Every structure is written in C-alpha cells, then in structure tokens.
Amino acid sequence: MAGATGIAFVRTPTANLAEGIVTHLQRSVVDVGRAMVQHAAYCRALAEAGWQLRDVAPAPACPDAVFIEDAMVVVGHAAIITRPGAEARRPETEGAEAAARTAGLDIVRLAAPATLDGGDVLQVGDTLYVGRSGRTNAEGIRQLRAAVSPLGRRVVPVRLNAVLHLKSAVTALPDGTFLALPELFEPGVFPVVRPVAEEGGCHVVPLGGDAILIAASAPRTADALADLGFDPRVVDISEFEKLEGCVTCLSVLVPPRR
C-alpha cells in the first residue's frame, strides 16, 4: 500500500496468553514463544503494507488482550470503546481507549447493559454488519447503531450459528464481495458471497489496493484469490487460531483521513 499513512493498533501478547478463553474449540497447548514470533511477523506484514503501528498498552491480567479488535471499533474519526461480552475481558478497553485518544480519535463508550465485541462488527462501505452472538447482545447493537447513525452509517444485525464472532464466519474482499462459511450465519444477509472450504479462508484483512492479509492455514483460498487478481499477504497465526483468533482479531486499522 504505497504511501499509506493509516494507523494499525496492535497489542503485544502477554506471558499468560495460553490462558485465553476458548468457547467453541477444544483447548490445545499454546506455544507462547512461538506466538510472540508470529505476532511480530504479523506486525511486520502490516508495516510493509504501509501501516503505521501503534502499540496499545498491555493488559497483563487479560490473556485475550492481544485480540485488540474486540476492545474498540473505529468508524470514521470515532473510536467506539466496546463492552466485551466476557466480563474478564472488560479491563482491556482502558488501554484501547487511551491509545485511541492519543491518536486523536473521538471517543464513544458503550454502557451497561450493552455487550459488544469488535470481532462481531464487519464494516463494508457505509454498512456495519453486526453479529448477534454469545458476546454481543441486542442492547450492544442498539447502542452501536445510535453511535454510528450520525456518522452516516447503517447497522445490519446478523444471527450466528455456533461461532464465536461474525468475523469468524465472514469478511469482505476489497471489491465488496464476501468470503464466508455460509452455514455459520443466517442466510440472505450478504449480497455477494464466495463460499470457502477452509475455515481460515473466510478471514481476510484488506490492506489497501488489491492487498489482503490471510492466514497460512488457508493456502487453497490464498491461491484462488491470487488467481482472481488479489494480492494475498500470508501470515502464520496458528498459535492464535488455537484460541479462536484470526487475522482480523490482532489489529484495528484506521485508514488515513480524506
């Protein structure tokens, strides 16, 4: 992404990463040292694509804090500070808010009884698709809608099936089409869906232009997207996938203001 000046918020994994919450997967051994190496490579991929890295202060008591996406949703020049559905994760938002404030973003906070994880929010153009999941409730969706409507955005709720977050099931390519595991969410919501066979294949982060970040666990999808003219940047995040993480979870991208 030549000449990009956007910000990428990231958060370094903590030593207790292996204690992160697992909901829909069987717990397996997480190699924290390897996760640190993988996270550094993930950050390099963002920097090489032109994004300016901003480190969010660690939250040592919160092993899932590396999944910074869940703590804030950036819409335009506003940072919506979430209220995570897992109570143990709520302290993560303090550092996220401080980082957003330092970056000059306007702050909007969700309040009880709302719960909302940023991983449930997929932004495509002026539309925010929001997963109604085990972590995001109806009040969270209502408060998000109230926050973003004045910014010219609309909110479309999506019911999920046995998956942690909306973006665990579907993300969008730069052309506005959707990569998805359709069985994980209600039908008829997304206009143009490209079903994938690999779970990691439905997780991409648009980096600018035709470049997309995709996990090494989805080689067939990466090859297929390259054949369609996209530019896959492949990163190994296997240790984070053991904790139900994906490429979207590990950063919050703030495009340059126009």
Q: Which of 39, 62, 165, 203 is catalytic?
A: 165
How far is Cα 190 from Cα 23, in angstroms, rounded to an integer?
26
Four-CA torsion 215, 222, 48, 229, nearest 10 degrees: -160
**Known active-site residue 165:** yes
Q: Where are the alpha helices (DSSP H) in 116-213?
A: 138-148
How far is Cα 230 from Cα 209, in angstroms, rounded to an integer?
9
Q: Alpha carbon of 32 to those of 21, 214, 244: distances in Å? A: 15, 21, 15
Report the Cα–Cα distance between both ends of the chain, in Å, rounded. 16
How far is Cα 165 from Cα 184, in angstroms, rounded to an integer?
10
**Known active-site residue 203:** no
Contacts of 147-151 with C-beta under 8 Å, sequence gap 24+, read 147/75, 147/78, 147/80, 147/108, 147/110, 148/75, 148/78, 148/80, 151/75, 151/76, 151/78
Q: Alpha carbon of 176 to those of 39, 54, 182, 201, 214: distances in Å? A: 27, 27, 16, 16, 16
Question: Which residues are catalytically annotated?
Answer: 165, 249
